[in-house]
Amino acid sequence: MLPEAASEAARQTDSALTLLLIVSAVILTGVTFTMIAFATRFHRSRVTKTRQIHSNLALELTWTIVPTIIVIGLFFIGYEGFATNRAIPAADDSIVVEVTGQQWFWSFHYPEYELNTTEMTIPVDRDVVLHLTSLIDDVVHSFFIPAFRIKEDAVPGTKTRMWMRADRQGDYNVFCAEYCGTDHARMRSLIHVVSEDEFESWVQSSLEEQYRADRVANSLRLLLEFSPPVHTSSGIQGLGIQHIAGVVHILGEIGRFGPFHKDPTL
Ligand SMILES: [Cu+2]
């Protein structure tokens, strides 16, 4: 049902679930067979008169103490996993990623690098702390990573947190697990778990890409802000000299910083 676990905490969750399943299966089987045995043994065709039993201390103590021990035992096993997932590591020796949900996509911000992305990349064997929220006028979403067995609500105006430490490289799905409107089912993303070296070079190339995109976007914004439209005699808006100058400027920017140019230091 779930993909292979990609962190130690996920395996801890899996073993708690497996144990719970085994205990439940044993109890279900025991109860079912006892029920069938009693229904057969004491069927109306065999027994017409029952003995009145007022108390049976040994039996009552057994069916009180044994289930109590089982339930308390399961509680502690569950609590152990819960405590692991809530013991969020200190921010200074982990990677912080700010996750924002909105109808209907996730976006990521790495404050340490001032980097914005639409998919998440993290290094293997490093603690990663997620700060989750939703846009202020949006709805509640839920950030769910099945491979890490963790899920946390992303709530407008509030910051929630969770963490993970991936120990297997690969690409892992992210889903929104809180119904949030029409395209809820399409609100997916990916987490790429890569080596430390690959992560460093990914940060570098993403920053370069972001820098180029920002330069072009800024030029466009300046052009729109500072170039008033020119009205021709027919009343149709035309290009003014500022527009032409602006377009030339943008073409220059694209040439210097655009997708065809690799060196952002120029
Ligand atoms: Cu959602």
Q: Is 192 helix (H, G, I), strand (E, B) or coil?
A: strand
- Segments of the chain scoring below 70 in pLDDT: 227-246, 248-250, 252-266
pLDDT at res. 221: 84
**Alpha-carbon dihedral 77, 83, 86, 92, rounded to 10 degrees:** -130
Ligand 1 centroid distance, CA of 115 (Å): 23
pLDDT tens-digit series, residues 184-229: 999 999 999 999 999 999 999 999 999 998 888 888 888 777 766 6
Phi-psi label, residue 204: left if phi above 0, alpha if psi -120 to 50, beta otherwise: alpha
Ligand 1 centroid distance, CA of 182 (Å): 10
Ligand 1 centroid distance, CA of 78 (Å): 27
Q: How far apart are CA 219 and CA 222, in angstroms?
A: 5
From first CA to last CA, the distance across the chain in angstroms is 51
Task: Give CA 138 to chain center in angstroms.
Answer: 17
Angle between helices 57-86 and 8-41 (to 10 degrees): 160
Ligand 1 centroid distance, CA of 69 (Å): 40
H or E element in which residue 109 lies: strand 105-110
Residues with CB under 5 A from ligand 1 (ion): 141, 176, 180, 187
Ligand 1 centroid distance, CA of 185 (Å): 8
